[in-house]
């Protein structure tokens, strides 16, 4: 378990395939439950997932192993890329490529916002739209510090969803 935890890295669908389909460590249901918890808590989702799954099987050492497995190699790669960036980042072709990838990466995040917004619009449009708009205006346009935005928006939005619970 400890060693093979190292094998799982990368993005969410991949983790699901490894944990549920290939290894059979978790049932589909358990995976979704654990994932829901990880999205509920603060922190990077996939990292939380590795901590929870590792912890479930081997306690604290398991969660440390799973975490090291998921972060270790990417950390090395990304720092290596960072070093290349410092060294060659100013060259014109590299600048152009980075500019293009930046534009594409922004589009990726936009699509992600759309994907999590779509089910909300369908289920609870009147509750969610004002919250989304208010958070966007405060954080993106007025650059309100995140902590204030969260302290105001999160309790308000949770209160609304409490009153309007089915």
Partner 1 sequence: MKQGDVLLALAANFLILSLLAFGGANAVIPEMHRQAVEVRHWMSDTEFVQLFAIAQAAPGPNVMVVTLVGWRVAGLAGALVATAAMIGPSWVLTYAVFRAWDRFKNRPWCMAIQNGLAPVTVGLVASSAFLLARAADTDTVTVLLTAGTAAAAYWTRINPLWVFAVAALLGVAGLI
Binding residues for partner 1 restricted to 19-58, rule: CB under 8 A: 33-34, 36-48, 51-52, 55-56
Question: In a 10 Å sphere around its CB, with 0-12 CB exposed, 13-18 middle and 19+ buried, how is residue 35 labelled?
Answer: buried
* Binders in 107-126 for partner 1, by CB under 8 A: 107-117, 120, 124
Instruction: Considering only residues 130 through 149, tell me which ones interact with partner 1, judged by CB under 8 A.
Output: 131-136, 139-140, 143, 145-147, 149
Shortest Å distance, C-beta 9 to partner 1: 6
Q: Which residues contact 35 (CB under 8 A, 6 or more apart)?
A: 12, 45, 49
What's 7's DSSP letter? T
Report, in Å, the least distance between residue 101 CB and partner 1.
Answer: 4
Is residue 98 involved in binding partner 1 (CB under 8 A)? yes
Burial of 53 (0-12, 13-18, 19+ CB in 10 A): buried
Q: Please, are residues 5 and 65 in contact by the beta-carbon 8 Å criterion?
A: yes
Q: How far is the CB of 102 from partner 1 (least distance, A)?
A: 4
Task: Find the binding residues for partner 1 in span 61-90 (CB under 8 A).
Answer: 63, 67, 70-71, 73-75, 77-79, 81-82, 85-86, 89
Site for partner 1 contains 3 (CB under 8 A): no
Among 52, 73, 63, 94, smallest CA distance to 10 is for 73
């Amino acid at each position: 378990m400890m060693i093979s935890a190292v094998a799982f890295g990368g993005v969410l669908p991949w983790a699901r395939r490894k944990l549920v389909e290939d290894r059979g460590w978790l049932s589909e249901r358990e995976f979704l439950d654990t994932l829901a918890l990880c999205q509920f808590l603060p922190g990077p989702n996939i990292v939380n997932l590795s901590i929870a799954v590792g912890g479930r099987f081997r306690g604290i050492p398991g969660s440390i192993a799973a975490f090291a497995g998921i972060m270790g190699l990417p950390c090395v790669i990304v720092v290596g890329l960072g070093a290349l960036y410092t060294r060659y980042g100013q060259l014109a072709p590299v600048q152009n490529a980075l500019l293009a990838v930046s534009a594409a990466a922004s589009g990726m995040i936009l699509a992600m916002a759309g994907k999590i917004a779509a089910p909300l619009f369908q289920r609870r449009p009147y509750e969610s739209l004002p919250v989304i708009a208010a958070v966007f205006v405060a954080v993106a346009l007025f650059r309100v510090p995140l902590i204030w935005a969260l302290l105001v928006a999160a309790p308000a939005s949770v209160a609304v969803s409490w009153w309007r619970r089915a």
